[in-house]
Amino acid sequence: PQARAERGDEPGLFHTAFLLPSRAALAGWLRHAAALGVALEGASDHGVSDALYLSDPEGNGIEVYADRPRAGWPRPGAGERIGMGTSRLDLPALLAEAPRAAPPPGVRIGHVHLRGGDIPATAAFYEGLGLEETHARPRARFLASGGYHHHLAVNGWHSAGQRPEGLLGLDHVALA
């Protein structure tokens, strides 16, 4: 009751990402979302995955994505373990792959992406918990285990400083 809504420039949740089992399942989800009139805020080809972005009614960021086969992931740049990028996703091509039936089961949370203030310190904290940095960008770090592209990401693109107390938002994330 005493908590206030966070502003978009404060540390907190950037988005929760729901991993679908295949590109065809992502295409089916897109067809379903379009039929319901769901407004997308973005669609990206990250080289390692294809992703759709939207927000829930409370403004929480959501990513719905499907990984690409590891053999086709981009080559990493200097100092990176995994190469990733961001380019426009071809939505008509994705929709052409949509099955006529509902997407199959198998959706799970694939990663959590945080807004942070001190990106190196946050990355070091999660490295101390056993994650490895897989990719770095200016003001962003991507971390994972087992050779995955990222289970956790943190960026400072629109945030700075430490998160104020008394905000609505993310309470905790469990690593299993």
Domains by residue range for the chain, with CATH:
12-155 (3.10.180.10)
* Residue 56 amino acid letter: D
Pair 76, 82: CB distance under 8 Å = yes
Percent of the chain residues topping a pLDDT of 70: 94
Q: Does position 108 have pLDDT exceeding 80, yes or no?
A: yes
pLDDT at 98: 86
* Residue 136 amino acid letter: A
Q: What whole-number distance in Å separates Cα of residue 146 and Cα of residue 144?
A: 7
Give the three-class secondary structure for 54: strand
| Contacts (Cβ under 8 Å, ≥6 apart) of 13 | 60, 61, 112, 113, 114, 115, 169, 170
pTM: 0.66
Strands of 12-20's sheet in order across: 87-88, 42-45, 49-55, 61-67, 12-20, 108-115, 152-155, 140-144, 132-137
pLDDT at 57: 64
Q: Does position 1 have pLDDT exceeding 60, yes or no?
A: no
- Of the pLDDT bands very low, low, confident and very high (cuts 50, 70, 90), residue 130 is confident
